[in-house]
Amino acid sequence: ILNVEQSPQSLHVQEGDSTNFTCSFPSSNFYALHWYRWETAKSPEALFVMTLNGDEKKKGRISATLNTKEGYSYLYIKGSQPEDSATYLCAFWGNTGKLIFGQGTTLQVKP
């Protein structure tokens, strides 16, 4: 059984705070690691697809890093805004040929 774990499960921060959360995945048979943002009453939308050890991706105030050897990825949000409130999902693609999703980290940013 492949486990993809995300921590923390939920997070409350004040507007302007920077925050980060973790995705842990199997360190063997790695093909790709996906990050999705899922806002309430909407569909999940892709943030990043990461494929190389040491990869770093950035989109505005959101960035992600990848360590495939130890099996983790960090998602960082700099200067959180209320519109960043969402559930952030990571998903691991290994040798099963399909994405395995973590349970998500729910972020609430208070104005």
Partner 1 sequence: NAGVTQTPKFQVLKTGQSMTLQCAQDMNHNSMYWYRQDPGMGLRLIYYSASEGTTDKGEVPNGYNVSRLNKREFSLRLESAAPSQTSVYFCASSSSPGRGPYNEQFFGPGTRLTVL
Nearer to partner 1 by Cβ, of 9 and 14: the residue is 9
13 is an interface residue for partner 1 by CB under 8 A:
no
72 is an interface residue for partner 1 by CB under 8 A:
no
Size of the site for partner 1 (CB under 8 A): 22
Closest approach of Cβ 51 to partner 1, in Å?
Answer: 6
| Contact of 91 with 36, CB cutoff 8 Å | yes
Nearer to partner 1 by Cβ, of 19 and 105: the residue is 105
Window 74-93: contact mask with partner 1 (x via CB under 8 A): ---------------x-x-x
Complete DSSP assignment for the chain: ----EEE-SEEEEETT--EEEEEE--SSS--EEEEEEE-TTS--EEEEEE-STT-EEEETTEEEEEETTTTEEEEEESS--GGG-EEEEEEEE-TTSSEEE---EEEEEE-
| Interaction residues for partner 1, span 35-64 (CB under 8 A) | 42-46, 49, 51
Amino acid identity for residue 63 in this structure: S
Among residues 11, 104, 106, 107, the one that binds partner 1 under rule CB under 8 A: 104
